[in-house]
A = this chain, B = another copy of it.
Amino acid sequence: MGIKPLEVKLGRLSLKTPIIMASGIFSYGEVNLNYIDYKKLGAITTKTMTFNPKKGNPQPRIWETPSGMINCIGLQNPGIKEFIKKKLYSINISGVKTIVSISGENIDEVKRITDLLVKQGVNAIELNLSCPNVNRENMMVSQSPDDTYSFVKAVRDIDGDITLIAKLSPNVTDITETALAAEKGGADVLNLINTVKAVAVDIEKKRIIEGGLSGPAIKPIGLRAVFDVYKKVQIPIIGTGGITTGQDALEYILLGASALGIGSGLFSNPYLIDKIYHYLIKFLKKNNIKKITNATGLLNEKKYKGAEKR
């Protein structure tokens, strides 16, 4: 068959392209959007599931900010059992892998969810350790290296074969610490970054919107996380945060990402998947690079041909 230039492996998961729908921005893949070319998509991450159903937060859940947006959806979801009954088997897009995103307030909850999913034959789980909207008073799991380690390890211990992705918050003093903890706990893949904690003010209605910042505004923050973590870990990284063009995607790859999480950029540009796909193909051709995996980290490792010294 020859080389498939955009194919990537994340743990035991083979994706035909490195382009992944990030969690929370594509529901469960059940909405049919005929402007999306699924042939160019590697995987869909589901909205984060919790054990019990969650109603989510009141309005407003969305606030636009300069080159970005704040969301405080509050993990609205039907709970894992309803998800398995009604949603899991309807996610069935030919050639597109499904990653089930899960989250729990304690290790027990996360274990129970994993148990149920593993029994259903789910083979890729993303552990959302960083949702900033729920339990506002408490810290997020991925704000502590110890908690990060224990949560990841708990899931890993249940099943050694699933591809386990740990998704981390950027709201930490040093993200390489939580990244190393997740790796040590047995994560196969890291996803960097989740939204950045933020507040907006609705001057007109005199209210405050607390939530997570996403979009182009946070790209420099996501890039930095990948840049720093790539130097320290051995496992692959999904780069997420502010990707709205093919060039953004390439920037993440050159700094160390093996795959790309497409988040709110999809709302802005419905053809984003195509755009990234063609940009990456063109980049490989132009630079005579055989596979996108060969481009990962090129700039970080200063191995990029023609890279300027400083």
Contact = CB atoms under 8 A, between A and B. Distances in A.
A308 B310 CA distance: 52
A173 B130 CA distance: 12
Interface string A53-94: 000001000000111101000000000000000000000000
A242 interface: yes
A139 B174 contact: yes
Contacts of A203: 247, 250-251
Given A143-B173, A173-B143, A198-B223, A67 B67 contact: yes
A198 B217 CA distance: 11
A220 B68 contact: yes
Contacts of A58: 310
Given A173-B143, A250-B203, A198 B224 contact: yes
A65 B306 contact: no
Contact of A307 (B65, B196, B206): B206
A116 to B, nearest CB: 32
B310 A255 contact: no
Interface in A144-202: 171-174, 196-202
A216 B66 contact: yes
A233 interface: no
A173 B139 contact: yes
Contacts of A213: 220-221
B219 A196 contact: no
A140 to B, nearest CB: 9
B254 A227 contact: no
B306 A206 contact: yes
The 9 closest A-B pairs by CB, nearest first: A198-B220, A66-B216, A67-B67, A217-B217, A66-B67, A206-B307, A201-B251, A199-B224, A207-B308
Given A66-B217, A66-B219, A199-B220, 14 more contacts: A66-B68, A66-B215, A67-B216, A70-B220, A196-B220, A198-B224, A200-B223, A201-B223, A203-B247, A203-B250, A205-B308, A206-B299, A207-B299, A207-B308
